[in-house]
Structure 1
Amino acid sequence: MNLKKLILFGTIFSSVFTACGNDAVNVTPEQPNEPTSGDVKIYTTTASLSRDFKKSFIDFSKTSNMSPKTIKLDETTKFQTMDGFGSAITGSAAYNLLKMTSQDRAKFLKETFSPTEGMGQSYIRIAIGCSDFSLSEYTLNDEPGIANFALQEEEIKYVIPVLKEILAINPSLKIMGSPWTAPLWMKVNNLASLGAHNSWTGGHLNPKYYQDYGTYFVKWIQALQKEGINIYSITPQNEPLNDKNSASMVMHWQEQLAFVKTALGPKLKAAGLTTKIYAFDHNYNYDDMADQEDYPVKIYEDAVAAAFFAGAAYHNYGGDKAELLDIHQKAPNKDLIFTETSIGTWNDGNNLGKRLIEDMREVALGTVNNWAKGVIVWNLMLDSDRGPNREGGCQTCYGAVDISKNDYKTIRKNSHYYIIGHLSSVVKPGAVRIGTSGYVANGLQYAAFKNTDGSYAFVLLNESGETSRITLDDGKNHFSYEVPAASVVSYTWKK
């Protein structure tokens, strides 16, 4: 092989890992004459990564607005108040983060979570005990007897240290906790025979242990409080209709109603905890179980139980986001939050050109425009072998970002990182989604918000293969921006 071929081969080999999303690929360099300030701050990502979350600035227009492609903001029409956007810090994600050098990790976490110097991710989800992306299967009370509750190595060595580093960057971060299973000694094979179910997978919570399991949640929240970590919200069970995950536990709506009404809700209240409880935490289509349709609404029909629930949480592994609107219409006084979605080999998860557009449409804007107060995607970080993972869990998933196992430094950013960043960078916790009117077109989706500091935020998806010069008008000021083909653009400005 001659020298030219050797150089070419080496170049191709070194770029294999980064070719699908690294911010070193196809990035348009900053031009020296580009403004570094202006009336409007803009972030742009194209599916080709010719613009990779590129920050730019423009000023308000000084001329009359005659553009036929004008979108007007209407802050007299108000929808939901936003809680935040983020991703899951699983045991696997925490493990990978801690394999980085402290300097590299600090840089990445600041870019991800800083409200002033980064994307400002503001809401994360963690497991209560193990998840299917933990380093092992465990709960916080594996030895029978609630007195034996204790945080385990995965929390102490991995998850809690990472949470503390993130909270130092963003102290207002919201944290949601979800269990994948109760301790095995609390589980039964069914609610008729109440036979023992000594398995991490499936089974039901034994009503005999409702009170102990309510105490389990209280002890977990208090244990993290002692570490300086406040838990904003919980769900009683991750994917309560899934009996195949590792780990997992079935909790039909009748069971969740009874558990929260008689144990979890009263236990939290007695302990003086204000942690929000969200029902369900599973798919839009209720896994095609007819008797479980409208799961949260059926719980809300019990007034005593309903009083303990802030709302309901959803995943998108089955069904359509329109279910959010349906549930909102049936229970308009209850919140909705989107808590999990995954990318992997099954849906071209490392094909940014495809996934950026679809995930922005279906997950980010799709859920927010159907009343979701927050959006959380699955693992923040996996490694280049899609791990650490284990048998029984997902072995084909990618993270929001993937880090190379060769150096624990080289990072590939996937669609989930971008879609959350485009929301969290301009839409701040407490923002209110507001109305819009004017220009609409096939392939164009957007949402508008008013932040608590009086600034506006606008997030737009252009699915089409053509650029489009879009004008935004808040009633006082207007400006135009050339939106690239197949791109996501986020804007923020003050009136």
Structure 2
Amino acid sequence: MKLQLITTTYEKNQTKTIETKKEFTHDPGVEFNVVNIYPQVEYQTFDGFGGSITDSAGYIYSLMSDQSKKELIQAYFGPNGNCYQTIRSHIDSCDFSVNQYEALSDPTDMEFESFNLDRNNRYILPLLLDAEAANGKPIEMMLSPWSPPSFMKTNGIRIQGGKLKEEYREFWAEYICHYIKSYRAKGFLIKKLSIQNEPNAKQTWDSCLYTGEEEKIFLRDYLYPALRKNGLEDIEIFIWDHNKERMFERACEIIDETTEHMISGIAFHWYTGDHFDAISLVREKFKDKKIILSEGCVEFSRFDENAQLLFAQMYAHDIIGNINSGMNSFIDWNIVLDTVGGPNHVGNFCHSPIVYDAQNDKVIKNLSYTYIGHFSRYIVPGAKRIASTKYTDKLELTALKNPDGTVVFILLNRLDEMQQVNLRINGQVTEVTVPGNSISTGLLSQ
């Protein structure tokens, strides 16, 4: 057994990544400081990592020089980058749009004659096309609506929550289908759809409220029939698409004998804390459903915008906890923003793993980008989570087995002090040093 270990440390605002190789020896019976990995014990399949291409990200991309565009695209989608396999984008505008917009605003246009994707063509689609060119094949996409058009809502505006008017449920379902078909006609691989982004949040930006019963009725009686009528039966439908603390309740409200066959999975966000047990509950009760993180970022309204190490550790901590609880894929929020965390038409500025300094035409990779890469560069879609144990809560650990049999494990140390590990697998052992405030990815092969 051989170990390739990639370790990143961060001291005095400097990132350092080193690679080492180690050999294993026969386990003499070590008992202390042990980390065990059990490839023979398998759990859920992991489908990969991704990020979101928003109107704001596309706008930033439009400002870049050709060289900076290439650098960004390769960083996420190139063979030596973070190997993203999924893209999420929004149906009509969201908070991370330069301004509000919708593809159709005429309540009498039931034939979609005035429907157009002009705004998408301006910013989102050029970034999508370049991402796919770098990837070498179509990238699987997920679409999510933040709000129906204003005329379809009880409050008459895209913002401040409001609800979908009952008389527009059928029209809105057809609108969503038209959006999907328009993207597919351009060659994009729309694979996933969530019913509503954050249906429990009345926001100062584009938003729409659904109770669990309302979401179920819209899915069962309008959206699913519309997808079938439009030949879109292959679209994977995800419910909830909101924070973890209520994902179990929402899943129980919506998934029953009438809707179970319509629903591919549950999407969640991370903004209200760990709640890894909530994921475990959903995994236990709904064993055949996919569980995906569809959005997560660090909001500058809640955290110091200069806390690079904290942000990176937040990402790694959440990914590890989610995977260990049963998550199937992880989709980050904006893949690129400006240096203040925008643009955002309501001032809801956030961190992004990569930012662009337009004044100096510079692509800046934050530490969170490197930390995400410790997972996404090495965990191959189709990997199986495998069992592992650790001797201390001072370390965080997850382990997976790629389709080719290579074992990947990630060790996160969020403390200042170094940890010494005896790594055991298949009756063999080797010593591993985990520096303080570091993340390490191990690749195990015969």
Q: TM-score, normalised by structure 1?
A: 0.82
Pick aligned residue for 2:161 from 202, 206, 216: 202
Indicate whether 1:358 and 2:314 are aligned: yes
- Matched residue, 1:48: 11
Q: Deviations over 1:197-251 (max 9, x none)?
A: 2443321112222222222222111111122211121111000011224111111
Pick aligned residue for 1:348 from 304, 307, 311: 304
Instruction: Give the C-alpha shift of residue 368 in structure 1.
Output: 1.3
- Matched residue, 2:253: 298
Instruction: Give the C-alpha shift of residue 420 in structure 1.
Output: 2.4
Indicate whether 1:285 and 2:245 are aligned: yes
Distance (whole Å) between structure 2 residues aligned to residue 351 and residue 235 of structure 1: 32
Higher strand share: 2
Instruction: Give the C-alpha shift of residue 44 in structure 1.
Output: 2.2
Pick aligned residue for 1:271 from 221, 230, 239: 230
Distance (whole Å) between structure 2 residues aligned to residue 232 and residue 39 of structure 1: 38
Distance (whole Å) between structure 1 residues aligned to residue 41 and residue 272 of structure 2: 31
Q: Is the 8 A contact 2:26 2:427 kept in 1?
A: no
Q: Is the 8 A contact 1:350 1:398 kept in 2?
A: no
- Matched residue, 2:119: 154
Indicate whether 1:180 and 2:138 are aligned: no
Instruction: Give the C-alpha shift of residue 383 in structure 1.
Output: 0.6
Pick aligned residue for 2:282 from 310, 314, 327: 327
Letter in 1 for 2:187: G
Distance (whole Å) between structure 2 residues aligned to residue 382 and residue 94 of structure 1: 9
Letter in 1 for 2:258: V
- Matched residue, 2:62: 98
Instruction: Give the C-alpha shift of residue 478 in structure 1.
Output: 5.1
Indicate whether 1:490 and 2:441 are aligned: yes
- Matched residue, 2:75: 111
1:123-138 to 2 correspondences below 5 Å: 123-138=86-101
Q: Deviations over 1:63-86 (max 9, x none)?
A: 323454343322232211112112
- Matched residue, 2:383: 431
Distance (whole Å) between structure 1 residues aligned to residue 280 and residue 342 of structure 2: 35
SS of alignment partner, residue 237 of structure 2: strand
SS of alignment partner, residue 76 of structure 1: strand
Q: 1:243 to 1:74 in 2, by over 3 A?
A: same
Is the deviation greater in 207-216 or in 422-431? Answer: 207-216
Pick aligned residue for 1:406 from 344, 349, 359: 359
Q: Is the 8 A contact 1:72 1:475 kept in 2?
A: no
Letter in 2 for 1:403: Y
Q: 1:349 to 1:313 in 2, by over 3 A?
A: farther
Q: 1:166 to 1:49 in 2, by over 3 A?
A: farther
- Matched residue, 1:246: 205
- Matched residue, 2:267: 313
Is the deviation greater in 123-132 or in 95-104? Answer: 95-104
- Matched residue, 1:456: 407
Q: 1:449 to 1:216 in 2, by over 3 A?
A: same
Distance (whole Å) between structure 2 residues aligned to residue 458 and residue 49 of structure 1: 27
Distance (whole Å) between structure 2 residues aligned to residue 225 and residue 76 of structure 1: 40
Q: Is the 8 A contact 2:243 2:272 kept in 1?
A: yes
Q: Is the 8 A contact 2:354 2:363 kept in 1?
A: no
- Matched residue, 2:104: 141
- Structure 2: unaligned runs, 5 residues or longer: none
Distance (whole Å) between structure 2 residues aligned to residue 488 and residue 223 of structure 1: 42
Distance (whole Å) between structure 1 residues aligned to residue 245 and residue 249 of structure 2: 9
Distance (whole Å) between structure 2 residues aligned to residue 105 and residue 479 of structure 1: 43
Instruction: Give the C-alpha shift of residue 258 in structure 1.
Output: 0.7
Distance (whole Å) between structure 2 residues aligned to residue 240 and residue 53 of structure 1: 41
Distance (whole Å) between structure 1 residues aligned to residue 367 and residue 386 of structure 2: 29
Q: Is the 8 A contact 1:90 1:133 kept in 2?
A: yes
- Matched residue, 1:29: none
Q: Is the 8 A contact 2:27 2:428 kept in 1?
A: no
Output the aligned Cα RMSD: 2.4
Distance (whole Å) between structure 1 residues aligned to residue 251 and residue 371 of structure 2: 27
SS of alignment partner, residue 202 of structure 1: coil
- Matched residue, 1:232: 191
Runs of 4+ aligned structure 1 residues displaced above 6 Å come to: none
Q: 1:217 to 1:72 in 2, by over 3 A?
A: same
Instruction: Give the C-alpha shift of residue 280 in structure 1.
Output: 0.4
Instruction: Give the C-alpha shift of residue 140 in structure 1.
Output: 1.8
The structure with more radius of gyration: 1
- Matched residue, 2:27: 65
1:369-388 to 2 correspondences below 5 Å: 369-388=324-343
Instruction: Give the C-alpha shift of residue 493 in structure 1.
Output: 3.6
Q: 1:385 to 1:464 in 2, by over 3 A?
A: closer
Distance (whole Å) between structure 2 residues aligned to residue 203 and residue 317 of structure 1: 22
Distance (whole Å) between structure 2 residues aligned to residue 93 and residue 279 of structure 1: 25
Q: Is the 8 A contact 1:142 1:183 kept in 2?
A: yes
Letter in 1 for 2:309: G
Pick aligned residue for 2:45 from 73, 81, 87: 81
Letter in 2 for 1:402: V
Q: Is the 8 A contact 1:402 1:414 kept in 2?
A: no
Q: 1:293 to 1:366 in 2, by over 3 A?
A: closer
Q: 1:40 to 1:272 in 2, by over 3 A?
A: farther
Letter in 1 for 2:288: N
Distance (whole Å) between structure 2 residues aligned to residue 360 and residue 381 of structure 1: 19
Letter in 1 for 2:277: A
Instruction: Give the C-alpha shift of residue 494 in structure 1.
Output: 3.0
Q: TM-score, normalised by structure 2?
A: 0.91
Distance (whole Å) between structure 2 residues aligned to residue 233 and residue 147 of structure 1: 25
Instruction: Give the C-alpha shift of residue 365 in structure 1.
Output: 0.8
SS of alignment partner, residue 292 of structure 2: strand
Q: Is the 8 A contact 2:248 2:282 kept in 1?
A: no
Q: Is the 8 A contact 2:10 2:437 kept in 1?
A: yes
Letter in 1 for 2:262: F
Distance (whole Å) between structure 2 residues aligned to residue 205 and residue 84 of structure 1: 33
Indicate whether 1:219 and 2:178 are aligned: yes
